[in-house]
Amino acid sequence: MLVSYLKQTKELFGDELYLSKTSNSHEKNKNAKSDLDNFCKEIYECQKCPLGATRNKFVFGAGDPQANLMLVGEAPGAEEDRLGEPFVGRAGKLLDKILKAINRSRSKDVYICNVLKCRPPNNRDPLTSEVERCEPHLLKQIEIMRPKLIVALGRVAGKTLLKVEQPLKDMRGKLHDYFGTPLIVVYHPAALLRNPGLKPAAWEDFKWIRSILDN
Ligand code: SF4
């Protein structure tokens, strides 16, 4: 209900009023770090779907437990599976640069994770059955952290979270609702590496993200 109200005011009055209505409305969980650590210990041997048998490393998530910004990708890739860390490699480095440009980092007001905690073979898209089993883990992370904003990185993460079959252009630039938390869908950093022409649009998205977080 709050989110639809915010959407309505955003449509009517733009970001400024929307931001003034949301500022300071989020009470953080002071025990988020220990709660996340405990939850990770609970599920790191998860075998609820077949990916548990083929993973090298379980990739829980990383970053600031008190973060207002939660970035969510679809699933770990090869490097993430090898290291147990989300968003490493070239795409991760680019993401770090983008975060620096909005005055944030993995250790400062940002938490990064994926919908799936284990790597699908050959980096294929997550199956619906895998998402059904794994998404409750993400929901628990959100419940613990209470982020102000969730940002889905790329089309697959966006459609997986929003349960829609849409191209990225139709999801991007809108304020969605993910179980009561505002959610924005942006280009995946790997897409920006493949097509640098998308970077100006991506920068617009991150300026919008910064304005939401800073107000
Ligand atoms: S992908 Fe998720 S549900 Fe499947 S085994 Fe890994 S943690 Fe469990």
Q: Are 147 and 64 in contact (CB under 8 A)?
A: no
> What's the gap in Å between 53 CA and the centre of ligand 1?
9
The per-residue pLDDT of the chain, averaged, comes to 90
Distance, CA of 209 to CA of 203 (rounded, Å): 10
Query: What three-state secondary structure class fits 108?
Result: strand
CA–CA separation, 147 and 145 (whole Å)? 6
- Number of folded domains in the chain? 1
The beta strands (E) that lie in the chain are given as 62-63, 69-73, 110-114, 149-153, 176-178, 181-186
Query: Ligand 1 centre and the CA of 77: distance in Å?
Result: 14
Tell which residue, 185, 112, 98, has the closest CA to residue 147.
112
Decide if 32 is inside a domain: yes
47 close to ligand 1 (CB < 6 Angstrom): yes
With beta carbons less than 8 A apart as the criterion, state whether 153 and 192 touch.
Answer: no
Residue 15 lies in a domain: no
Domain annotation covers residue 137? yes
Q: For a substitution probing ligand 1, which of 41, 45, 46, 139 has the most ligand atoms within 8 Å of its CB?
A: 46
DSSP for residue 105: B
Ligand 1 pocket check: which of 116, 119, 128, 137 to mutate, most ligand atoms within 8 Å of Cβ? Answer: 116
Q: pTM of this prediction?
A: 0.88
- Find the Cα–Cα–Cα–Cα dihedral 185, 114, 159, 146, rounded to 10°: -60
CB 97: neighbour CB atoms within 10 A?
9
Q: Is residue 14 part of a domain?
A: no
Structure tokens at 66: 């008190």
pLDDT digits (tens, 9 = 90+) for 24-79: 446 899 999 999 999 999 999 999 999 999 999 999 999 999 999 999 999 999 99
Question: Residue 139: which domain range?
Answer: 28-214
**Pairwise CA distance, residues 113 & 58, whole Å:** 11
Question: Using an 8 Å Cβ cutoff, are 64 and 106 in contact?
Answer: yes
pLDDT in tens, 5-39: 344 434 433 443 333 333 344 689 999 999 999 99
Please indicate, yes or no, if residue 76 is contained in any of the structural domains: yes
**What digits encode the pLDDT tens for the residues 174-183?**
999 999 999 9
Residue 10 lies in a domain: no
Q: What was the pLDDT predicted at 26? A: 65
**Domain membership flag for residue 17:** no
Residues 51, 118: contact at Cβ < 8 Å?
yes
Residue-wise pLDDT tens digits, 130-164:
999 999 999 999 999 999 999 999 999 999 999 99
Domain-located, residue 134: yes
Q: What is the CATH number of the domain that holds 82?
A: 3.40.470.10
